[in-house]
Amino acid sequence: APDAALAQIAQSARGSFRDAISIFDQLSVTTGNSISLPSVLRLLGTVEEDALFRTIDLAIDGDTRGALILVEELVEKGHNLGKFVTDLVEHLRRLMLLQHLEEVPEALPMTPESSERLRNQANQIDEETVLEFIDLLTKVIQEERRGSDSRLLLELALIRVARSASDSTPSTILERIERIERSLNPGKNPASEQTNPSSS
């Protein structure tokens, strides 16, 4: 089984060894003991990790059209939007942890490639947007349990976050520049350089 497939199984099991073994048992029956990432995704009803990264990228770019097209693609492929929202909240949690801990926690089931991609994404989105997104999606989950239309709620959440992220006030533009500088020069503090007379 490739590392990406194992990471998906570990994430779905959420720390439960028994649940992980149960997933392996089901896969052994349906795949003939040759586990692949697509087979894991089909069994768990999970979208590919790339869709989660794409969703955040679209929000960062303020691309509401792209976000709505992505939802349409998920629906056409038969994905459960409720499960997608739950997975997206987990992805945002990882971004939040990375932003505050400044490193990817070892306990998170991720491949090295995904960890690096997560780090790059964390440098491009501000903490407030991450928290706002988590709050909106948590409300989507709550409303869905009451019988509300999960697709409409998800679309509204994506539009709100994308519009918020595309705010072009001077303060938000400065924050974006600083995030880009941090991603290009890890360990340097752009704000401290501005106050250093020798750098002028």
Residue by residue, pLDDT tens for the chain (200 residues) are 777 777 767 767 667 778 777 877 777 777 777 777 777 666 666 667 888 899 999 988 888 999 999 999 888 888 888 888 988 998 999 899 888 887 777 767 677 787 888 888 888 888 888 999 999 999 989 888 888 788 898 899 999 888 876 654 445 555 555 655 665 665 555 444 444 444 44
Q: What is the pLDDT of residue 35?
A: 76
Q: What is the DSSP letter of 197?
A: G
Q: What is the DSSP letter of 169?
A: -
The region that residue 15 occupies, defined by phi over 0 for left and psi between -120 and 50 for alpha, beta otherwise, is: left
d(CA 46, CA 87): 8
Q: What is the pLDDT of residue 166?
A: 62
Q: Side-chain half-sphere of 64: how many Cα atoms within 13 Å? A: 11
Q: What is the pLDDT of residue 134?
A: 92
Q: Side-chain half-sphere of 94: how many Cα atoms within 13 Å? A: 26
